[in-house]
Copies of this chain bind each other. A is one copy, B any other.
């Protein structure tokens, strides 16, 4: 079982991912697909007159300010437009895909942060009407049921709080928790970069392999959100995922390339 996370960047070649995935699926390999949609959400939020805002946590991480209207727009894009786009493209290639969010069957369950201490536009704030949270538990029963019956699960945030509320959860972290929960042989994270680079953005400096135990030595190369992704990868490997691969989603046969050694491999 391989869990694939595809980011929401516009330069990712969705058709290349889908056709590669369909071919591998038909050859008998089993996958769960998790997709993002941040860029499109920003565009739609702008168009609907509710522009995106971002907040920075006390520990320095940036995340989307998710008031109720933002959550609704987030669901429109992630669960509507993009989830059904992935399902349609897979169905058109003969793969019986089923698209679900993390609140369906509470696949991605976690805690809603009822109080966010953040900085926004330089000011310290406590936000109480926010709909974000962290995946703490992956309920795999529904996914197992789908896989056992020949369906390819196509998953997306939001997740569900322990009370059943929809919460904006980080897609990379959700995919990593999922990969650990299903004991995946690999988690492949496709985005618009070829992997972790020693000298960002020089793609020729992409690091081929990182031992999970040595991830700390490589953190100096990780920029911005990549820090969180690399740490998450090390955690996933510690939790039993065979390996985590950061690979290029802009190329032909991106999955096959990643499986065959492309990108940055983090493993024991």
Contact = CB atoms under 8 A, between A and B. Distances in A.
B149 A141 contact: yes
A198 interface: no
A142 B88 contact: no
Interface stretch (A71-79, A187-195, A242-250, A256-264): A71-79
Interface string A91-124: 1111011111101111000000000000000000
A164 B94 CA distance: 8
A24 interface: no
A81 B84 contact: no
A84 B145 contact: no
Contact of A105 (B47, B103, B151, B163): B151
Contact of A80 (B75, B91, B151): B75
A166 interface: yes
Chain A residues touching B, majority SS: helix
A202 B142 CA distance: 47
Nearest to A101: B84
Nearest to A152: B105
A20 interface: no
Given A100-B99, A149-B141, A149-B145, A76 B87 contact: no
Contacts of A158: 84
A72 B76 contact: no
Contacts of A149: 141-142, 145
A165 interface: yes
A87 B100 CA distance: 11
Given A76-B80, A99-B100, A145-B145, A88 B166 contact: yes
